[in-house]
Amino acid sequence: MERVNAFHDEKPSPASGGESTRTVIVAFGANIAVAVAKTVAATLSGSASMVAEAAHSWADTGNQIFLLVANRRSARTADAKRPLGYGREAYVWSLLAAVGLFVAGAAVSVWHGITERRCASRSDRRSAHRP
């Protein structure tokens, strides 16, 4: 008895093909340019806000890599190993991109907190020794 599968004959939407990949590639290029510019500005100015902005832009750039992988892997056609196809795999890669952004933001926040505590404690020790 052959199983009837509603998802097997499902065709990808036109937006999920080349147009989506092209959009992600354009966003990737723009994010790299913005990230480099913000990194240079942060280096020259020493601004903590600009460092945070640069980190955010680099995280967005990394996010685009996950989306490129998602587009490429989910576009594969159904085969004997995956009779339902690979379209739903895009959701897994999108989840990984979201978790990656969360982890990157958390890591920057923790690093900034530790750095501020270390600098503050050094400043307190120096002022304690001054008359």
Complete DSSP assignment for 25-44: HHHHHHHHHHHHHHHHHHHH
Amino acid identity, position 76? R
Using CA atoms in the order 20, 24, 25, 29, what is the torsion angle rounded to 10 degrees?
150
Q: What percent of the chain has pLDDT over 70?
A: 79
Q: How far apart are CA 118 and CA 101, in angstroms?
A: 26
Output the six-digit token pair for 26. Answer: 């354009």
pLDDT tens for 11-59 read: 444 444 677 888 888 989 999 999 999 999 999 998 888 988 998 899 8
pLDDT at residue 129 in the model: 55
| Contact of 19 with 44, CB cutoff 8 Å | no
| Contact of 83 with 6, CB cutoff 8 Å | no
pLDDT at residue 33 in the model: 96
Does 3 score more than 50 pLDDT?
Answer: no
Output the six-digit token pair for 8. Answer: 């097997």
pLDDT tens for 57-112 read: 998 888 888 888 888 888 888 888 888 888 888 888 888 888 888 888 888 789 88
pLDDT at residue 36 in the model: 96
Q: How far apart are CA 43 and CA 50, in angstroms?
A: 9
